[in-house]
Structure 1
């Protein structure tokens, strides 16, 4: 039982790590797009 619990925790941590990395990548992409948008707006002013 304890062994199964440890395995489940490991799998859950792996899932969380992947999820966090995906969220970070999405945030970085969003930040880049925002910076590009602001640059475009500045050029129009």
Structure 2
């Protein structure tokens, strides 16, 4: 499952909460960002 991060309060929001209601359960912000891994893929140039 993908977790989200609230843009306003910075807390992690589980995907279960986002499906039911598209707001942060802590501060009611409507802006949630998908958390991405900090791994970078190196793609060779052609």
- Structure with more relative contact order (C-alpha pairs < 8 Å, separation 6 or more): 2
TM-score in same-fold range (> 0.5): no
Question: Which has more strand, going by share of residues?
Answer: 2
Return the index of the structure with the highest Cα Rg. Answer: 1
TM range (shorter): under 0.3
TM-score by length of 2: 0.19
TM-score by length of 1: 0.19
Question: Which has more helix, going by share of residues?
Answer: 1
